[in-house]
Structures are given as C-alpha cells and as structure tokens.
C-alpha cells in the first residue's frame, strides 16, 4: 500500500501542511507516526479521508460536525442535504442579484426635479392602521409585530387640505385605494426633511399642466419614498410624486 508524507498530501490537494496538521490535531486524520523521524505517515485510507474532510469543509461543515460525520458509514443523505442548502443559497443570491439590477435600473433612469411620464399597472393600497402611527409616522417597532409587509414602500395619499393618508401595498381583493393602470406624471425629488418634501409637493401641484389635471379630474396626488433611487445618495431621500393623467 502506498504511503504519503504531509508535504505530498499538501501538493496533491493544494492545501498547506499546516491545514493537514490541524486536521490531525483535531483527530479528523489519524495517521501512523514514524518514531525515528517524528513525521506522520499517511496511508491511502488517510488520503481518501482527507478528500472527505476537504469536501465537507467546502460545503460549509465545521470541524466538529465533520468529526461526527466521519463516524457514519453512509454520507448519501448528508450530500443531499448539502445540495439543498447550496441550492437555497443560490436562490438567495439570485434574488440579491435581481435586487441589485433593480437598483441599478432605478438609478440609471433617475431624473431629479424633472416631470416625466410613465405607464403604471394597477396598484392596490391598504391604509396603515391608526394604532401603528405615531405623530404621523409609522411606529416600526409596533408594525413589526403585525403581518404588514413592504413597510419600506409607504405611500402618502395627499388630500386637498395637504394632510396625508399613509398606505402600504395591498391585495386586489382587499384594499382601501386603487391606483388604476394608465399614464402618470411623475417627479423624483431629493429631500432632507418633511418641510422640503412639502415644498416639492407644492411646486409639483402648482405646475400649470399638473394643476389642470387636478382641477379637471378626480386624480389624487400621492408620493412615496423610492428606496432603490435613494440608495444612490448619502444626504437626503428620493421621493417620487405622482398623479394620474
């Protein structure tokens, strides 16, 4: 039976001798020791076991977990579980990638302080309960105790007396407000506080074209914090103001 030194195993698996010594110290490998030289002598069985250890480490198992796994005779189920774990990680990374792509797309198309027009699908909004509001703001600590979702996408429906109704995205079968599909006039503004937001809303609503739409129809003015676009700025938050045409 062929034997190997620690240096030879290190070259075969492209790892350091110190890693092999660590596995020996943790009793993942139990090679014979040459009493004369003091060096470890690794058998083909040790080589195979080292391959197992490296495989488990790549999957993400800890040293202690690997020690328990090596006691077992059948690792088929272990690798099936590992495969599912890796697939879950891949799915999560794909979601993160899509989020990054959405952020890049949003920031690429951002035109601050300019009115633009875009097509929107139906949007259904649900009023945020009064018990979750504190002086006009959402009490996030209380909100996290509820089943409300997408709290990062809070809509502000602006009444004619300039007061706000706070909403979040709802469902098509249960909603308080419906923003119908169609063409909307939009404006992205970078604001630092509520006062500057109110000033931007006033400027938007006083635009001659926008004012004609507000007077002639039943369109409601609303705005929302645009999270993706806001990530491009350190000072201030991007709000999108919209009105249906």
Same domain, 227 and 128: yes
| DSSP for residue 154 | -
- Map tokens 């990680």 to a residue: 89
pLDDT at residue number 148? 61
Cα distance between residue 4 and residue 18, in whole Å: 15
| pLDDT tens per residue across span 67-121 | 888 888 777 788 888 889 889 999 999 999 988 888 888 777 778 889 999 899 9
- Domain with 11 in it: what CATH number? 1.10.1660.10
User: Has residue 126 been placed in a domain?
Assistant: yes
pLDDT for 94? 95
pLDDT, tens digit (0-9, with 9 covering 90-100), for 136-183:
677 667 766 666 655 567 888 887 666 788 888 878 888 888 888 999
DSSP letter at 128? P
Domain identity same for 121 and 55? no
Which phi-psi region, left, alpha or beta, contains residue 45 (left: φ > 0; alpha: ψ -120 to 50)? alpha
Q: Do 44 and 132 fall within a single domain? A: no
- CATH number, domain of 176, equals 3.20.80.10
Report the predicted TM-score, pTM, of the whole model to 2 decimal places: 0.60
Yes or no: say if 182 and 119 are a contact pair by the CB < 8 Å rule.
yes
Same domain, 121 and 229: yes
Residue 19 to residue 6: CA distance in whole angstroms = 10
Same structural domain for residues 130 and 34? no
What is the number of domains present in the chain?
Answer: 2
The 3-class SS string of 179-228 reads ECCEEEEEEEEEECCHHHHHHHHHHHHHCHHHHHHHHHCCCCEEEEECHH
pLDDT digits (tens, 9 = 90+) for 216-237: 666 778 988 888 888 888 888 8
82 domain residue, yes or no: no
Claim to verify: residue 136 and residue 240 sit in the same structural domain: yes
Which of the four pLDDT bands, split at 50, 70 and 90, describes residue 130? Answer: confident
The boundaries of the domain holding residue 116 are 110-244
Pairing of strands 182-191, 177-179: unpaired
Alpha carbon distance 172, 67 (integer Å): 53
C-alpha dihedral sign at 14, 54, 20, 50: negative
The span from the CA of 71 to the CA of 49, in Å, is 11
Give how far the C-alpha of residue 219 lies from the chain's centroid of Cα atoms, to the nearest Å: 34
State yes or no: pLDDT of 131 exceeds 70. yes
Picking from 73, 99, 123, the residue at the C-terminal end of a domain is: 73
Which of 242, 138, 117, 229 is closest to 183 using CA atoms? 117
């Amino acid at each position: 039976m062929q034997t190997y030194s620690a240096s030879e195993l290190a070259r075969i698996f492209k790892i350091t001798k110190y890693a092999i010594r660590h596995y020996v110290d943790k009793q993942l490998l139990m090679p014979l020791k040459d009493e004369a030289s003091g060096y470890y002598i690794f058998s083909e069985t040790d080589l195979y076991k080292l391959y197992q250890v490296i495989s488990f480490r790549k999957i993400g198992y800890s040293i202690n977990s690997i020690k328990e796994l090596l006691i077992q005779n059948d690792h088929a189920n272990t690798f099936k579980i590992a495969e599912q774990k890796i697939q879950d990680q891949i799915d999560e990374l794909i979601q993160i990638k899509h989020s990054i792509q959405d952020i890049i797309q949003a920031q690429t198309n951002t035109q601050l302080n300019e009115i633009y027009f875009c097509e929107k699908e139906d949007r259904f909004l649900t009023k945020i309960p009064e018990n979750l509001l504190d002086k006009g703001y959402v009490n996030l600590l209380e909100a996290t105790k509820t089943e409300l979702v997408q709290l990062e996408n809070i809509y502000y429906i602006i009444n004619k007396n300039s007061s706000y109704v706070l909403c979040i995205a709802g469902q098509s079968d249960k909603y308080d407000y419906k923003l119908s599909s169609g063409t909307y006039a939009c404006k992205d503004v970078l604001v630092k506080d509520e006062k500057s937001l109110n000033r931007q809303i006033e400027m938007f609503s006083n635009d001659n074209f926008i004012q004609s739409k507000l007077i002639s129809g039943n369109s409601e003015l609303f705005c929302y914090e645009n999270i993706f676009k806001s990530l491009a700025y350190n000072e201030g938050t991007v709000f999108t103001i919209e009105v249906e045409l």
